[in-house]
Structure 1
Amino acid sequence: MAKFNKTGKREMPQLNTSSLPDLIFTLLFFFMIVTTMREVTLKVQFTTPTATELEKLEKKSLVTFIYVGKPTKELQKVMGTESRIQLNDQFAEVSEIQDYIFQERASMTEEDASLMTVSLKIDQETKMGIVTDIKQALRQSYALKINYSANLRQ
């Protein structure tokens, strides 16, 4: 029968860290894929109206946004407090909407351009005259799929 030596000190084995870089790069890759960056810096404030029935948009890459609302507090000193139109990161006038829509269509593939949806994110306090002007400009540029952004009434 064998004897066990109890006089020797037992040491803890070292931790194997050879797979640690693989785990770190896997996590980094995961967060790079999942995270989306905000494409537009909002220069207008808007509170979306509430609705009772909503539909979720299928492909967000086919959606072009037009923001309408009062300028942010920092910009109100320069721009005033009237509702303004924002296309991408710029304030715009109604006459510039057609060019904007044509540029957005040109950046898409031919089959995606026919499926393009224009989403209007409009402050609930905005006067209907601006909305009507925007809709007329969209009609002239043949952007006939229009979506109104809203929050669900609970």
Structure 2
Amino acid sequence: MKKYNAAFFGLFENTFKILQKHYGKETALCLFQEIMETGLSKAYGFAIQPGDPDQFVRLVGERDKNVGLRVKFPKITEEEIIYQFHDDPFPNLKDQVAPQELDATYMNFKVKYLLGKNWDYKTTKHLWHGDKYIEHVIVKIQGKQSDQ
């Protein structure tokens, strides 16, 4: 596995800090989300068939590994995926923004783009709260038809 790419993530951290300084937190989060979505869509490709948990794990796992993040998927079913970060991708933003706000800038896109609108997530653990890892529990919304 590649080593955590501090220069790669540092560029994103600095981008967020500059955006926040000049435009405020809310605008910075919106622009940061757009930056993340643009980059992630290119990383994952455009020939995606949303809804496949195995595809999600493969694409997200490969991309995270390539940028030096240690991630695990301890549960993968047709209804639920547990996605854990054992490295903090943005440690220097800890005192700049709430973790759920920052995580939403990339997690909403990952879930909707790769799994579809009938999936959602919640963060159950976070390194910034003293947990051993960041954990996102991704679930298929019961009773909602697939409307990718």
Q: Same fold (TM over 0.5)?
A: no
Relative to total residues, which structure has the larger helix share, 1 or 2? 2
TM-score by length of 2: 0.30
TM-score by length of 1: 0.29
User: Comparing both chains, which one has the higher relative contact order based on Cα–Cα distances under 8 Å and sequence gaps of 6 or more?
Assistant: 1
